[in-house]
Amino acid sequence: MRDANTQPLDPVTFEVLKNSFITAVDQMSEQMLRTCYSFVIYNRDFSNGLHDADGNSVAQGNQDIAVHVGTLHFTCKDVIRVFGGEMMPGDVYAINDPYAGGTHFSDVRLVRPIFDDDTLVGFSQSNGHWSDLGGSVPGSFDVSARDMFREAVRITPVRLFRQGEFCHDVAGMIAANTRDPASIIGDIHSQASATQVAEREVLRLIGKYGRDAVLQGMEEVQDYVERAVRQRISALPDGTWETVDYIDRDPGQGEGMIPIHIKMTIKGDRILYDFAGSHPTISSIYNSAPGATFSAVVAGMKTFFPDLPLNSGFYRVIDIDAPDNTVVSAEWPVAVTGFLMPFEKIMNAIFEMWSEIMPDRAIACAFNLEYLLAGGTDLRTPEKPMFMFYEWLPGGWGGRNGKDGSDVTTACFGTGLMSQPNEGNERVNPTRTSEFQILRDSAGPGKWRGGCGVQKTSVLLESENAVMSYICDRERAVVWGVEGGLPSMPHGLSIRREGETEAKWLGSVFSDYPVSTGDEFARPTAGGGGFGDPLDRDPARVLEDVIDDYVSIERAARDYGVAIREVDAELCEFEIDADATEAMRAEIRAERVGWARMDPEAVAKLYRDGEIDALDAVRRYAVILDWESGALLPKTTEQFRESYEKRTVVNWT
């Protein structure tokens, strides 16, 4: 805290330092991209940060992924708690502890104290996702884990470099508990070098402007963001908004979705997010510790303030009240590796509430991030026999007020992530991609449709003792539309065994599933939810979507009530039947409320008899089934229909 008599920095120096702090973090990212060992980190599953001497965030980078914002200062402060008073220049510390404000065990942070002479002036921090941290399954995502002891190695603050000297014993012990120790050691050095880049830049700034000015700049940039956020919130009306979103299920219990309830209150220049009514922790990894929940709140809210830098000044205006032992407030030793599932529900719920406050930026629900992990023996490369395949796919964001949703975009969980190149994955893993394309009819219909998802199919090549895990959600809590818009589609993975003709639907949640050479696995990602009544969409836009192969002729009729005739598919020539469209839209308007309230058992029978498909079930009838057997999920359907009524049906009537 600077002295009350200290004069503020002049505007030019302030602006130079503000942007220099951000640039220093961006330079850390460039260093990691050029030196990392892991394919996962190379595809930007990392973030970096610069902190003041108290551990508060001064700057994050322009492409840091959303999930890490709001957590780096917690882990920096925990390192200070353990090692404060004994830190030396050249020290670097590691931590991955979700219960100390981190995200999940795979996100390992390296923290370097920055000294000017003998004075501690700040910290640089590099956070990278290591593709394996031990535990019961390759990739460290075991959905059946009830506690952390089956998940991964928990790293409480530990020194990895002592005054510049690498602590081989400590790093070796950590790496030896993983399935890819060589990459772990390489990534440690990569992340440590990234923290050194920020140290070098801070010391350069001190050499140019002086220590006092740089320290004052670190404080003033936080104050600047705090003032800006408070001013904008103060200009909004006081009030309370609330909503609920769901995780698909608790695998250890019967069917029924897991509610995350959020009430947001604006009062003056502060905001309270109250999670009362959220479900207790569940018997799976789909729980979030408090640090990750805080991050989800920050990431969701920051989406509506895109022009402001992000640092601890942003956090000062936010209060969070989460009851103990819920899916958003898990404590040691509850399993939390799959925290991204509640994380994205929190983000989308916050999108929905802020859309009411800022309707010009309103947006429907985005698709859910999914992780496919497989590991085993790679028979192609005897010198590196163990492979660790870890992949995510892009999908669709929700339709917006006046615009369609973004197609084939990385998840809101981590917009800085890259879409992994097939060639890179095929080089480092025994897999071959046979299909990767935009998925027709995946976008939630609306006046402004959601963005499209993708379909990817791959084949496992020469391997032994391989197992697969799939970490996903919204197979049942299907991506929803708003303002009368329709849902997208269920997530899930199917597998066709070598020599078989039929694929088996495995759904969105499984771990340690044995796979063999020649097995083919396919998975779609959902599109975004629709915004506004799809019957209000300009038929010419529907026609363009059919021409672009985003929407089929059949779904153009069933979802949008637009009758389109194929003239010449080879030449992409189609035309609208205006009279049939008018009649079809009138029929849908007259019938659709009744469809949405039709007896669920009757809908389930229609599905089992092949008269309707999964898109009809969720979009027209608001019914959730076991998509493999067609059995009705009554409690889940009741919850889904409540959401559908509130977000969709009420806007029709």
β-pair type (46-51, 386-392): unpaired
Average pLDDT, integer, range 99-126 = 96
Give the model's pLDDT for residue 70.
86
Give the model's pLDDT for residue 74.
96
Give the model's pLDDT for residue 535.
98
**pLDDT exceeding 90 applies to what percent of the chain?**
91
pLDDT exceeds 70 at position 365: yes
pLDDT exceeds 80 at position 222: yes
Instruction: Report CA 401 to chain centroid distance, whole Å.
Output: 22
pLDDT exceeds 60 at position 1: no
Reference 47, options 129, 138, 132, 123; nearest CA is: 129
Give the model's pLDDT for residue 397.
97
Q: What mean pLDDT, rounded, does the chain reach?
A: 95
pLDDT exceeds 90 at position 386: no
Instruction: Report CA 514 to chain centroid distance, whole Å.
Output: 27
CA dist 223 and 217 (Å) reads 10
Domain boundary assignment for the chain: 11-228, 362-532, 598-652
β-pair type (258-267, 270-274): antiparallel
Give the model's pLDDT for residue 4.
59
**Predicted confidence (pLDDT) per residue in 616-638, tens digit:** 999 999 999 999 999 999 999 99
Give the model's pLDDT for residue 416.
79
β-pair type (270-274, 318-321): parallel
Q: Which amino acid is at 40?
A: V
pLDDT exceeds 90 at position 2: no
Judged by phi (left if over 0) then psi (alpha if -120 to 50, else beta), residue 381 lies in beta
67: pLDDT confidence band, cut at 50, 70 and 90? confident
**Predicted confidence (pLDDT) per residue in 388-435, tens digit:** 899 999 999 999 999 999 999 999 987 778 888 999 999 999 999 999
Reference 443, options 367, 523, 539, 346; nearest CA is: 367
Radius of gyration of the chain (CA): 25
**Predicted confidence (pLDDT) per residue in 543-569, tens digit:** 999 999 999 999 999 999 999 999 998
Reference 576, options 618, 541, 627; nearest CA is: 541
State the sign of the Cα–Cα–Cα–Cα dihedral 539, 543, 546, 550: negative
55: pLDDT confidence band, cut at 50, 70 and 90? very high
pLDDT exceeds 90 at position 320: yes
State the sign of the Cα–Cα–Cα–Cα dihedral 13, 14, 17, 22: negative
CA dist 100 and 162 (Å) reads 23
**Predicted confidence (pLDDT) per residue in 225-265, tens digit:** 999 999 999 999 999 999 999 999 998 888 999 999 999 99
Helix or strand holding residue 186 (H, E): helix 181-209
494: pLDDT confidence band, cut at 50, 70 and 90? very high
Judged by phi (left if over 0) then psi (alpha if -120 to 50, else beta), residue 210 lies in left
pTM: 0.95
CA dist 315 and 21 (Å) reads 18
Q: Which residues contact 123 (CB under 8 A, 6 or more apart)?
A: 50, 51, 52, 53, 55, 76, 79, 80, 111, 112, 113, 114
Give the model's pLDDT for residue 384.
72
pLDDT exceeds 80 at position 359: yes
Terminal CA-CA length for the chain: 57
| Alpha helix ranges (H) inside 303-409 | 312-315, 340-357
CA dist 192 and 4 (Å) reads 37
Residue 80 neighbours by CB distance under 10 Å: 21
Average pLDDT, integer, range 478-499 = 97
Give the model's pLDDT for residue 68.
85
State the SS3 of 94-134.
EECCHHHCCCCCCEEEEEEEEEECCEEEEEEEEEEECCCCC
Give the model's pLDDT for residue 521.
96
Give the model's pLDDT for residue 3.
63
